[in-house]
A and B are shown apart, each in its own frame.
Chain A
Amino acid sequence: MPGFLKEFFNRNGIGMGAAILGFVLFWTIGLIILPQLSMLDFSFRPNLPPPEIGGPKDVYTLENYKYLVFGPEGGSQDYNTVDLRVFFRTLVAAVCVTIFNLIICYPIAYYLGQTEGSHIRIFAIMLIIPYWINEILRAFALRIIFGETGVLNTLFVGLGIWDVPFDFIRNDIALYAGLGYAYILLMIFPMYNVIESLDRNQIEAARDLGAPWWRIHWRVVIPYAKPGISSGCTMVFMLSAGALAAPQILGGPSSLWFTQLIYQQFNDNNDWPQGAAYAIVLLVTCILFVLAVMRLFKVNMGDIGK
C-alpha cells in the first residue's frame, strides 16, 4: 500500500476511510470521468441496432463528425450548412447573452457590494427568489409577456406605438431575453463576492486623487473584480450555450439552438452516436473558447469557482 494511502486510512480509520474513498471514487470515476469517456467512444461508432453492437460492423469511424461538417453523404451541398449555421449562431448568441448580462449585472453587483444597510438583504432575497422558481416556469412567464397577445404587445398596440403586434418570438427577442433572465444570478454572485471584499478606501483614494467615476471603475474596481467577472462570464456562457429549455419554449419555429439538434438526434432520429458526437463538439468548443478568452484577458484557471 502506498504511503499516502496508508496515512489516509490511519487518519480516518478503515471503515470511514473506505467509505470516503468509495464515495469519492464512485463520483469522480464512475459518474464524471467514465461516462464522458464512454460518450467520446460512442461518438466514434456507427449507429447500429442493438443486436449488431459489438459485432463486425462495430468499428471506429469518423462518420458522425463528418456529418456535422459535410452533411449526408451524396447530399446536394458541399457543407452541412444548416447544422453548422445553427452551431455558430448558438456560440455567437451565447457570447452576446454573456456580454448583455455582464453589462446589466455589473452596476447591480457593484451597488450591492459597496453599499451598506439593511435594504441590501432585501435586495439579495429578491435576487434569489426568481432563481428558485422552475426554469420552465420562468420561460413560460416570458412567453406570456412576449406572446402575440401578450402584455407587451397589448401595451404597445394600446398606446398606439405599433399598429400590428410585433412578433417577439419569431424575431428571437424573447429567446435572448429569456436566456439573459435565466442566468442573471450566476453573473451577479461571483462579482458581488469579489467586489464586496474591495476596500472602500481604495475607491476614495482614487476619487481624492481626482479620478472621474469611469476611471475609478476602469482602473480600480474592474481589475480587482476580474476573477469574479471571469467566473460569472464562464458560467453564463457555458450554461447559455448548453441551454435547452429556453430555446424550446421561447425560440421561434425556425430558430434552432445547437442543443435542440442534439435533442432531436437522440429523441426523434434515435441516432445516439450522432447525438453524442454533437455533444462532444459542443463541449470541446465551449471549453476551448473559454480557455482562449481567459488567456486573452490573462485570467488564471485557479480563480474560477472561488
Chain B
Amino acid sequence: MNTSFLRISIWVYLAIFFAYLLGPLVIMSVTAFNSSGFPRMSPWECLTFQWFGELFQDQRILNGIKNSLIIGAGTVALSVAMGLAGALMLTQIWPKLRATYYTIIIAPILIPGVVLGISTLVFWDRINRMLGLGADSFLSNGIFLTVIGQSTFIASYCMLVLVARLQRYDMALTEAALDLGATHAQAFRKIMLPFMRPAIASAAVLAFLASFENYNTTTFTFGEYPTLTIELAQKVRYGITPAISALAFIIVALTVFFALLNEAKLKRQELVAAARKEATVEELAGKIKLPSFFAGNMAAVLLVVFAVATITVVGTATAYNPAQCIADVREQKQLEAEQRIQELRKQREERRKQQEAQEAEQGEAQSAPKPSNNSGFGNVFAPNSLGGDGDDGASDTESEPSNNSGFGGVFDPNSLQSDQ
C-alpha cells in the first residue's frame, strides 16, 4: 500500500511539474489561432490563421530574423574556434596554471549577461577612441559588438562540450601521423578534426541557439542591428498581439520537430549497432539486414505523425476562411456593446431625473433663480457642476463627454458663441 501510494504521488508530482513546464508553451501556441485581438484562450472566438499572415508582413520581425542569422553565424564561427582552442589549451597547459586558467574561461557562464554586455560596450568604445576612429567605425558596429559580446560566454559552453570529447582522444594518433611525415596542420585537419566532428556539430548548434535567444548581452550591444529577440522584447513590452504567439508557435513546432528528428536518428543508430552486434560475420559480409527506420523507433513514428499534422494544418489554413465566423463574432460584440450603451443611457437618464427633482426641491427651498446658461462662464457657477457626479448638469447632450471637467463649458467654443 505504501509503495503504491508513493508511486501515485510521484506521478502526480511529475504531472504537475510538466504542466508547469509545458503548459505555458501550449497555451501560448493555442492563442495564435484565436481571432481575438489580444492573445487569450477564453473566450474563444474563431479559429483563424490571420496572425501568421500578419507576422510575415511585419518588416521589423523579418529584419530581426535576418540580423539574428548574421550574428548567429558570426558567433558560431568565433565561439567554436575559441572554444576548440581553449579546450586544446586546457589539455596541455602547465599544471600549475590549470586551475586559474579554468576559472577564467568558465567565469563568463556565471557573470550576468548584463555585465558582459556593458563591459564589451565600454571596452570597445574605449579602443575605438584610442585608435581615433569615429562613431561609425567598424569597432562600434552593432553586429561586431554583439558577436564579440555573445562569443565571450558562448565560447565557454562550446569549450565544455568540446573538452568532454577531447578527453577521449588518443594523442598517439596525432603523433603517429606526425611520424609518418604529416605536418602539424595536416595532422590536425585529417586526424583530430574528423574525431571531433560530432562534438563540433553539437557545439555549433548550441552556440547558434544561445546566440539566437540571447537578450541580456545583446540589449546593450546591438546598436542599429536589432536581433529578433530584441524586436520581440520591444513588442512584448509595449503591447502584445497574437502575432507574437504565431511566431512562438512556429518556434515551438520547429523545436519539437528537430528534437524528434534527433531522437529518431539516435535511436536508429542504437538499433543498427545492436543489430550489428548480434549479426554473424556471414550476415555482415553478405546482405546486411538492418532494421528499417521505423521498426521499434517511437520517435520516428511520432516524427511522421507530426509531419502529417503540419501538412494538414497548412492545408486547412490555405482553404479555410474564417471571415463568416469573425463577422458573426463582431456582430455579437456590437450587439453587446449597444446593449451596454443603452443600459448606460438609461442609468444616466434616471440619474438626471433624480437630479432635476433634487434641483427643483432646492430651487423651491432657496427660492433662487435658476442660473441661465447664457453667461460667459458656462456652467461653472452652477451649484451642481462641482458637487455633482461629473456628467450631470453641464452636459445636456450625451455626446459631449468633454464637459465632464469641473470647468463646465468654459472651454467649449460653443458656449462663447451662444453668448452673442
What residues of A have a CB within 8 angstroms of the CB of B17 in the complex? 104, 108
Closest chain B residue, CB of each to CB of A15: B185
Q: Do A151 and B185 form a contact, CB below 8 Å, given A24-B82, A272-B122?
A: no
Contact pick for A136, options B13, B92, B103, B233, CB 8 Å: B233
Contact pick for B85, options A8, A20, A142, CB 8 Å: A20
What residues of B have a CB within 8 angstroms of the CB of A283 in the complex? 111-112, 115
Find out whether the CB atom of B25 lies under 8 angstroms from the CB atom of A141.
Answer: yes
**Is A206 positioned at the interface, with any CB of B under 8 Å from its CB?**
no
Contact pick for A245, options B115, B152, B215, CB 8 Å: B215
**Is B109 positioned at the interface, with any CB of A under 8 Å from its CB?**
yes
Find out whether the CB atom of A39 lies under 8 angstroms from the CB atom of B209.
Answer: no
Closest Cβ–Cβ distance, residue A302 to chain B (whole Å): 7
**Is A241 positioned at the interface, with any CB of B under 8 Å from its CB?**
yes
Instruction: Give Cα A250 to B123, complex, Å.
Output: 31
Contact pick for B114, options A11, A263, A305, CB 8 Å: A263
Find out whether the CB atom of A134 lies under 8 angstroms from the CB atom of B259.
Answer: no
**Is B107 positioned at the interface, with any CB of A under 8 Å from its CB?**
yes
Contact pick for B107, options A32, A138, A141, A154, CB 8 Å: A32
**Is A218 positioned at the interface, with any CB of B under 8 Å from its CB?**
no
Closest chain A residue, CB of each to CB of B23: A145
Mark out the residues of chain B between 231 and 250 whose CB falls within 8 Å of any chain A CB in the assembled complex. Answer: 232-233, 236-237, 240, 244-245, 247-248
Find out whether the CB atom of A242 lies under 8 angstroms from the CB atom of B216.
Answer: yes
What residues of A have a CB within 8 angstroms of the CB of B45 in the complex? none
**Per DSSP, are chain B's interface residues mostly helix, strand or loop, or mixed?**
helix
What residues of B have a CB within 8 angstroms of the CB of A249 in the complex? 233, 236-237
Find out whether the CB atom of B108 lies under 8 angstroms from the CB atom of A140.
Answer: no
**Is B118 positioned at the interface, with any CB of A under 8 Å from its CB?**
yes
Q: Mark B6-48, 1 if CB is under 8 A from A, else 0.
A: 0000100110011011111101100100000011111000000
Instruction: Give Cα A38 to B115, complex, Å.
Output: 12
Instruction: Give Cα A284 to B10, complex, Å.
Output: 40
What residues of B have a CB within 8 angstroms of the CB of A243 in the complex? 216
Find out whether the CB atom of A134 lies under 8 angstroms from the CB atom of B232.
Answer: yes
Q: Which of A67-75, A79-87, A231-239 contacts B (4 or more CB under 8 A)?
A: A231-239
Contact pick for A133, options B118, B120, B252, CB 8 Å: B252
Closest chain A residue, CB of each to CB of B39: A144
Contact pick for A139, options B22, B184, B212, B236, CB 8 Å: B236
Instruction: Give Cα A141 to B248, complex, Å.
Output: 9
Q: Do A137 and B251 form a contact, CB below 8 Å, given A13-B184, A34-B123, A144-B39?
A: yes
**Is A201 positioned at the interface, with any CB of B under 8 Å from its CB?**
no
What residues of B have a CB within 8 angstroms of the CB of A305 in the complex? 106, 109, 160
Find out whether the CB atom of B129 lies under 8 angstroms from the CB atom of A53.
Answer: yes
Residues of B in contact, count (CB < 8 Å): 87
Closest chain A residue, CB of each to CB of B96: A4
Q: Mark B217-243, 1 if CB is under 8 A from A, else 0.
A: 001100000001100110011001000
What residues of A have a CB within 8 angstroms of the CB of B113 in the complex? 242, 244
Contact pick for B118, options A33, A53, A266, CB 8 Å: A266
Mark out the residues of chain B between 67 and 113 whose CB falls within 8 Å of any chain A CB in the assembled complex. Answer: 81-82, 84-86, 88-89, 92, 94, 99, 101, 103-113
Contact pick for B28, options A129, A137, A286, CB 8 Å: A137
Contact pick for A279, options B27, B42, B118, B228, CB 8 Å: B118
What residues of B have a CB within 8 angstroms of the CB of A149 in the complex? 38, 40
**Is B183 positioned at the interface, with any CB of A under 8 Å from its CB?**
yes
Report the 8 A-B pairs with minimum CB-CB distance, sorted nearest first. A242-B112, A13-B184, A23-B85, A141-B24, A35-B119, A35-B123, A141-B28, A39-B119
**Extra pairs beyond A19-B85, A24-B85, A27-B152 (17, CB < 8 Å):** A13-B185, A15-B184, A31-B148, A31-B151, A104-B17, A130-B22, A136-B233, A137-B244, A141-B25, A144-B40, A144-B240, A151-B27, A154-B41, A181-B21, A243-B216, A279-B114, A305-B109
Name 29 interchain pairs, CB-CB below 8 A, sorted by A: A12-B184, A20-B85, A24-B85, A24-B89, A27-B105, A27-B152, A31-B152, A35-B119, A36-B119, A39-B122, A42-B122, A108-B17, A123-B18, A125-B263, A126-B22, A133-B251, A133-B252, A134-B229, A135-B229, A136-B233, A137-B232, A137-B251, A138-B25, A140-B28, A144-B27, A151-B27, A235-B110, A249-B233, A249-B236
